[in-house]
A and B are shown apart, each in its own frame.
Chain A
């Protein structure tokens, strides 16, 4: 935010979330959702100050290797095993405006589909040089990038033979707590995407396609790493043409 001091902070309420575009809470094909989905209607209200505000994080918080998953857990001089990739893109809001200063956090399995987590027991091996977490903050134009290895697919106990497509989890903080979002990025051309019960919680095919990052040859670094581009859209906010007056409009 520091480099945008001349821009007046925006204080309008956010556009209503299109809950027909997002997955509903109850999606029985994804079994865990059955007992973890509210059954009663959500209480809707236009954003109050409690939701249109939100925390911001400074670039100074970041360590040098926070956006380099190939090296941020590796022993000195070593690196993670797998397909070296760069993931980059822009964070925009629904009006197409860049979201500078957005904190992105990401996590993923290693090249063999194994997560570094004590509850994970998949027989694929851990990579001693791969942790699987990273973070970065978007620049003035809303751009971000990080370096990692392409995660493998992995099996999970849902159906007898369900496998997740290769994916990277993303968590995003925009400018207001109402924009808070967690999602998953998939890779262009992966045949597993359309079989996945978690992907298929999303009812609209176009919304799924928005989660699939295309390979980006233009930004692929020869003899080093391929690039994937993944743009993220957060809720837009209303222009404050007419401010609500305390006494009412």
Chain B
């Protein structure tokens, strides 16, 4: 016998279900008057530093149909490459940028939209710079545990070519699933849950 390590087990995930909006974006689903505004609806204000961009996209299932009941959250660095988080030890991020946004996919068209700024580069663990990217987290009915992925920018070819995460993708054509379409200031990032065009999802 040896000592027990004494660690607890993480609470198991369950699907967010079809009515995730009641809890996370109540105003979006018609529950008015409980919260002033839905959390994460706005990431920027008029003083936010950096280049304004729009990120749109859809989440598409294994039959090619967009999900109209998904909820997306994004997390990213500010224009200077700093995260607005207490765990950010490299400096103070732009106080006028939250770095975090939340958006449901449209009940009709399945489109999500974020108005944000283009993130600066941040270092990988070994000090190499990662290419500018936005972290995505997707939940919905039918998804048992939230899916993590990243969006990279199509107009950052040189930075993408030296990105340590993209370089880890063994099947090279799959790296393209993490690169948005379009050009500044408007990008489209479609996320494919399953099949030939399946997006690379991360265990991080």
- Contact, CB under 8 Å: A73 / B31: yes
Q: Give the residues in chain B near A131, CB-CB below 8 Å.
A: 22, 26, 31, 33-34
Interface string of A35-77 (1 = CB under 8 A from B): 1111110111111111111111100000101100000110000
Q: Give the residues in chain A near B11, CB-CB below 8 Å.
A: 181, 183, 210-211, 232-234
Cross-interface CB contact of A133 among B34, B63, B168, B193, cutoff 8 Å: B34
5 A-B pairs with least C-beta separation? A107-B23, A32-B142, A246-B127, A36-B142, A53-B85
A167: nearest residue on chain B (CB-CB)? B14
B69 close to A (CB within 8 Å): yes
Given contacts A23-B144, A36-B143, contact A118 B12 (CB under 8 A): no
Q: Give the residues in chain A near B184, CB-CB below 8 Å.
A: none
B62 close to A (CB within 8 Å): yes
Quote the shortest CB–CB distance from A38 to chain B (angstroms).
5
- Contact, CB under 8 Å: B145 / A22: yes
B1 close to A (CB within 8 Å): no
A187 close to B (CB within 8 Å): no
Complex alpha-carbon distance, A181 and B142, angstroms: 15
Given contacts A36-B142, A38-B147, contact A208 B201 (CB under 8 A): no
Q: Give the residues in chain B near A94, CB-CB below 8 Å.
A: 7-10
- Contact, CB under 8 Å: B144 / A107: no
Q: Give the residues in chain B near A15, CB-CB below 8 Å.
A: 7
Complex alpha-carbon distance, A73 and B26, angstroms: 11
Question: Residues of A with Cβ closer than 8 Å to B?
Answer: 1, 9-11, 15-19, 21-25, 27, 30, 32-40, 42-57, 63, 65-66, 72-73, 92-96, 105-108, 115-120, 131-135, 169, 171, 175-178, 180-184, 198-199, 201-202, 204, 206-208, 210-211, 232-236, 244, 246-248
- Within B149-168, the residues touching A (CB, 8 Å) are 150, 165, 168
Quote the shortest CB–CB distance from A99 to chain B (angstroms).
12
- Contact, CB under 8 Å: A33 / B142: yes
Q: Give the residues in chain A near B34, CB-CB below 8 Å.
A: 63, 65-66, 72-73, 131, 133
Q: Give the residues in chain A near B130, CB-CB below 8 Å.
A: 48, 50
Q: Give the residues in chain A near B77, CB-CB below 8 Å.
A: 50
Given contacts A119-B19, A234-B11, contact A55 B99 (CB under 8 A): yes
- Contact, CB under 8 Å: A106 / B89: no
B137: nearest residue on chain A (CB-CB)? A180
Quote the shortest CB–CB distance from B123 to chain A (angstroms).
7
Question: Residues of B with Cβ closer than 8 Å to A?
Answer: 6-24, 26, 29-31, 33-36, 39, 61-63, 67, 69, 73, 75-77, 83-89, 98-100, 107, 122-127, 130, 133, 135, 137, 139-148, 150, 165, 168-169, 174, 193-195, 198-204
Write 20 A-B pairs (CB below 8 A) sorted by A numbering. A18-B9, A23-B13, A33-B15, A37-B142, A38-B193, A40-B201, A44-B202, A48-B122, A50-B133, A92-B8, A95-B7, A118-B29, A118-B30, A131-B34, A133-B22, A180-B146, A181-B146, A207-B12, A234-B11, A244-B126
Complex alpha-carbon distance, A27 and B123, angstroms: 37
Q: Give the residues in chain B near A49, CB-CB below 8 Å.
A: 83, 88, 122-123
- Contact, CB under 8 Å: A171 / B204: no
Q: Give the residues in chain A near B165, CB-CB below 8 Å.
A: 43, 45, 48
Q: Give the residues in chain B near A38, CB-CB below 8 Å.
A: 147, 193-194, 198-199, 201
Complex alpha-carbon distance, A115 and B100, angstroms: 28
A24: nearest residue on chain B (CB-CB)? B144
- Contact, CB under 8 Å: B9 / A35: no
- Contact, CB under 8 Å: B139 / A202: no
Q: Give the residues in chain A near B35, CB-CB below 8 Å.
A: 63, 66, 133, 135
- Contact, CB under 8 Å: A106 / B23: yes
Complex alpha-carbon distance, A69 and B169, angstroms: 46
Q: Give the residues in chain B near A232, CB-CB below 8 Å.
A: 11
Complex alpha-carbon distance, A9 and B89, angstroms: 9
B18: nearest residue on chain A (CB-CB)? A119
Complex alpha-carbon distance, A182 and B137, angstroms: 11
